[in-house]
Structure 1
């Protein structure tokens, strides 16, 4: 058996498929998962303080514990704040700076879990048009997450606008002492300057990543929403795409995505953890 990692998916044990999605992943050959907490507004009321994120984080830890009973490898939690929350908060009456403060407080709570319970942080900025004030507050929150990652020596997964050049963010990370390789662009295409790409499992994008020879990982961004079954991609997709990559002769790229890059970015050993 070889390690197969989905670098970014969500599990909702209360409303979605939860552990059944993990079983689908495992039956398809998947071994390791990075489970990112769902956006907070999907799991309760809009937060008014950092403490209001605790339920979201604890739900994710519970889902990871269940997954670890099923997987031949293991799962790790990635905790943080979805950048789209700022729009939800502004629509509810907060000014952008106040909304940003709530989100940074959520990140401050997430860092408490970096005591061994969580592997990495999640942050970013909106991928859609926003006002200058919202953009400014969002970038302040993103930079705060990068500073926390540097302080705790952990990776930071980012949800951002679609781009093949995010060197500005990589530079922000470096200024704060976080190596650019430990910044991960979730839902990335096969080409990216700056952070490490976590490539969505589109065949064309995976081919670009494989042929680049650069570090990358693979993800589904499965959202585990009962109203949108299978969105964004289903939990069987990464193992199936690994099979396709093998058929196409990209064995080196498979090792890059599932062994070398996860160790480089997160410090995890997906081979040794197959025995757990």
Structure 2
């Protein structure tokens, strides 16, 4: 297959070296022209028990750091880890363990504090937070918003981006304002699993053609992702690791060269301060 004359970044996917495809998925990504990855830690309860303390997050964080290091040895560019607490954990803590929403939020914030230590030390690039994308009680919703606002405070302190898992929407202006109130610029807030247009944060657009066409035509900063979950019992869930490079080829064929440059060079620099061209081999 012809090489692509562009870095190709998947902004949000998961790798599970123990239970999933792990580095085989990275090989697939590279064969199709992929160069860079942002690897987000899987939900903590997927790689161990539901956390009871901040230290319990270390297992999933450590696994992510290890697989990112191994992936960087395969990629023409490199991979970076994004660490944090999946917002769905609140339901595990409240519904399964019987914690009050405020106590669940406190534990989740402690997990974010632990993730922030890795960012502070230069071992991780960004943080992950958000709020449930499904119906929850008013108390759980507010507790989840408190956790997300804490993530913004950490992002501002560390000058790092925060990736969000939220409800489906094309308007998160209010959330972006929460970030700005805490000192984090709205462009450093990234909504994962976004559509082609988004008011407020930077959209990380799911890489289906309809959404990408909207994003390309909008002329605004955006990123591309698959949200590959790397779970063998869900082989068709979300998108596979070959999708982003395939969609980059399609965008170039459709004449969207500027959009490809924006998604894979300009926006990564704007949001994360990373140089996808400079980190390519040679």
TM-score exceeds 0.5: yes
* Alignment match, 2:243: 237
* Residues 1:266 and 2:275 aligned together: no
1:48-105 deviation per Cα after TM superposition (whole angstroms, max 9, x unaligned): 1111000000000011011011000000000000000100111121111111111000
Say whether residues 1:103 and 2:103 are aligned partners: no
Structure 1 unmatched ranges of 5 or more: none
Q: Distance in 2 between matches of 1:172 and 1:58?
A: 30
Q: Of 68, 73, 79, which aligns to 1:75?
A: 79
User: What's the TM-score once normalised by structure 2's chain length?
Assistant: 0.97
Shift of 1:230: 4.0
Matches within 5 A, 1:134-173: 134-173=140-179
4+ runs deviating over 2 angstroms? none
Q: 1:49 aligns with which of 49, 53, 61?
A: 53
Contact 2:9 2:264 in 1 (8 A): yes
One of 3, 7, 15 as aligned partner of 2:7: 3
Following superposition, the deviation at residue 122 of structure 1 comes to 0.1
Does the CA-based 8 Å contact 1:222-1:230 persist in structure 2?
no
Paired residues of 2:159 and 2:184 also in contact (CA < 8 A): yes
Q: CA deviation at 1:200?
A: 0.2
CA distance in 2, matches of 1:220, 1:174: 28
TM-score by length of 1: 0.99
Distance 1:152 1:73 in 2: 24
Deviation at 1:229, TM superposition (A): 1.4
Asked if the contact 2:6–2:261 (Cα under 8 Å) also holds between the matched residues in 1, the reply is no
1:15-47 deviations in Å (ceiling 9; x for gaps): 000000000000110000000000001000000
Query: 2: CA distance between counterparts of 1:236 and 1:33?
Result: 12
1:10·1:37 contact (CA, 8 Å) conserved in 2? yes
Assess if the C-alpha contact under 8 Å between 2:82 and 2:124 holds in 1: yes
Q: What pairs up with 1:1-276 in 2 under 5 angstroms? A: 1-92=5-96, 93-114=98-119, 115-275=121-281
Unmatched tracts of structure 2, length 5 or more = none
CA distance in 2 between counterparts of 1:230 and 1:103 reads 30
